[in-house]
Amino acid sequence: MNIALLIAGGSGNRMGQDIPKQFMHVDNCPIIIHTMLAFQRHPDISAIAVVCLKGWETVLQSYANQFNVTKLKWIFPGGDTGMESIHNGIYGLKEAGCDDEDLVLIHDAVRPLLNQDIISSNIAICKAYGYAITGIKCREAILESEDGFTTNTSIPRDKLIRTQTPQTFRLGNIIQVHEEAKLKGITNSVASCTLIAEVGGRDMHIVPGSEKNIKITTVEDLEILKALMHTNKENWLK
């Protein structure tokens, strides 16, 4: 099975709104449903699981029913951190009877503009190599600052990758990474890819991402999302 595991356990404090950002509406549809529909449409996705902010499970299921997200099979409780939410999701899948060889596409619930090619590439690369990380090469000049106000150090961008999601693994492999993290006392890595790097001993293969595959974190991101959703490529562009 190929399972999409959406991480929606955060409260979205940085957005500063009255409801969690994943449940905010764009074009009369919650952001998380836009994201779920990307996986719903993909023929190789067998099921969808969501790690949901506590107290919003019924709302999520109701929206899934309303928008005919028939692949939603499991809802797991969110954690206090992103790493804990992912932990709850992968162990929840294991307890639900999923196989160690099943592929799990771990994806931010607030990345709704995920395209079908990225999903397909994640599945193909994970099947071939075991660890697939969506990312794009860094185009900006990068500076390092200790205080956020001054700098005198640059970082070469040629080797830098800006990671996105999905990040895709066999279920048994990503559970093993979390088990090793427990032994090493790693409790709050910011993403699956950083956790794997901290644990060590595994090569991750890069899947080309997209500048449109943005994560909605701020009100400005929400404005960009709306613009992207209503923009079509000009016919004359190659």
pLDDT band at 16 (very low <50, low <70, confident <90, very high): confident
What's the sign of the alpha-carbon dihedral 34, 40, 41, 45?
A: positive
Q: Is the pTM of this model over 0.85?
A: yes
pLDDT of residue 17: 83
Token pair 């299921």 in the structure block, residue: 61
238: in domain: no
234: in domain: no
Q: Which bin fits 98, alpha (ψ -120 to 50), beta or left (φ > 0)?
A: beta
CA separation for the pair 181, 166 (Å, rounded): 21
pLDDT of residue 95: 97
CATH of the domain at 162: 3.90.550.10
237: in domain: no
* Number of structural domains in the chain: 1
**pLDDT tens figures, 35-84:** 999 999 999 999 999 999 999 999 999 999 999 999 999 999 999 999 99
235: in domain: no
In the predicted structure, residue 12 carries a pLDDT above the cut 80: no
Residue 205 neighbours by CB distance under 10 Å: 16
In the predicted structure, residue 11 carries a pLDDT above the cut 80: no
Burial of residue 228, with CB atoms counted within 10 A of its CB: 0-12 exposed, 13-18 middle, 19 or more buried: middle
The residue segments making up the domain with residue 19 are: 2-229
Tokens of 227: 């613009």
**pLDDT tens figures, 176-220:** 999 999 999 999 999 999 999 999 999 999 999 999 999 999 999
187: in domain: yes
197: in domain: yes
Residues 6+ apart with CB under 8 A from 220: none
236: in domain: no
217: in domain: yes
